[in-house]
């Protein structure tokens, strides 16, 4: 089983996501910290057993670490035997979305209902992301009235294919076009690239969430 530099990036991503040092990950996997650092920084060929240990310690799957199935639509497998849909408390919803990442903005555009993915951060109790001046979220989310803002939906979800589990959080609130002197001290880098200097902040007025898990 051959791994390349992508494996190292995925290991580093999950290790940092969990806030683990090399020594802490080494303790979880029973692999040396030096070997773990090598896997992150250089192409390597770990054994199947090592990959399984890494996946378990990093709360992910071997397929995810190897980047397999990234183009396959999620959720195509069968549901678990006894699925349970749990309503999440607001505090738990906020905990789930706080790390940031990818979310989806939903709003009524000039051409009809529109949903767009964005890279976001959660700062001071609000969702913050960047977009382009003159784009859909610039033109469609402006009322032209001072102090009057359009309410939008913002959704974040995570799916665990192996466990047939997942969660989804929906935030609803007004979309505020941040003025230059209001721009928060946060670095939000859109994957889409280009000139995206318009910051938009969504202050939650309603937060709901659901989690699917086994009994």
**pLDDT tens across the length of the chain (215 residues):** 333 468 888 899 889 888 899 999 999 999 999 999 999 988 878 889 999 999 999 988 888 888 776 666 666 666 767 788 899 999 999 999 998 889 999 999 888 999 999 999 998 899 999 999 888 888 888 877 777 788 999 999 988 766 778 899 999 999 998 877 777 666 788 878 878 888 999 999 999 999 988 76
Among 3.40.1190.20, 1.10.260.40, 3.40.50.1580, 3.30.43.10, name the CATH number for the domain at 5-66. 1.10.260.40
CB atoms within 10 A of CB 83: 12
* CB-CB contact of 138 with 144 (8 Å): no
Query: Which token pair is 191?
Result: 């994957």
Q: Residues 128, 8, 16, CA angle at the centre, nearest 5°?
A: 40
Q: DSSP per residue over 92-156, as a string?
A: HHHHHHTT-EEEEEEEEETTEEEEEEEEEEEETTEEEEEE-TTSHHHHTTB-SSTT-B-EEEEEE
Domain ranges of the chain: 5-66, 83-214
Locus of tokens 């199935």: 69
- Nearest C-alpha neighbor of 161 from the set 95, 70, 54: 70
Query: Which token pair is 89?
Result: 């408390």
Q: What class has domain 83-214?
A: mainly beta
* CB-CB contact of 88 with 211 (8 Å): yes
């Amino acid at each position: 089983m051959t791994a390349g530099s992508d494996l190292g990036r995925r290991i580093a991503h999950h290790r940092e996501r969990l806030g683990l040092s090399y020594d802490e990950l080494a303790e979880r996997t029973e692999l040396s910290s030096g070997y773990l650092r090598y896997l992150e920084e250089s192409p390597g060929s770990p054994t199947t057993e090592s990959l399984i240990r890494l996946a378990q310690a990093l709360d992910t799957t071997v397929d995810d670490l190897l980047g397999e199935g990234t183009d396959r639509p999620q959720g195509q497998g069968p549901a678990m035997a006894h699925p349970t849909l749990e309503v999440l408390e607001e505090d738990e919803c906020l905990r789930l979305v706080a790390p940031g990442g990818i979310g989806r903005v939903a709003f009524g555009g000039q051409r009809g209902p529109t949903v767009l993915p964005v890279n976001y951060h959660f700062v001071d109790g609000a969702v913050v992301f960047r977009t382009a001046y003159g784009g859909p979220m610039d033109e469609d989310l402006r009322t032209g009235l001072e102090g009057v803002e359009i309410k939008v939906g913002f959704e974040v979800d995570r799916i665990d294919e192996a466990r047939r589990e997942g969660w989804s959080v929906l935030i609803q609130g007004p979309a505020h076009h941040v003025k230059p002197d209001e721009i928060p001290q946060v670095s939000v880098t859109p994957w889409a690239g280009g000139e995206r200097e318009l910051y938009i902040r969504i202050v939650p007025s309603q937060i709901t969430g659901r989690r699917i898990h086994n009994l």
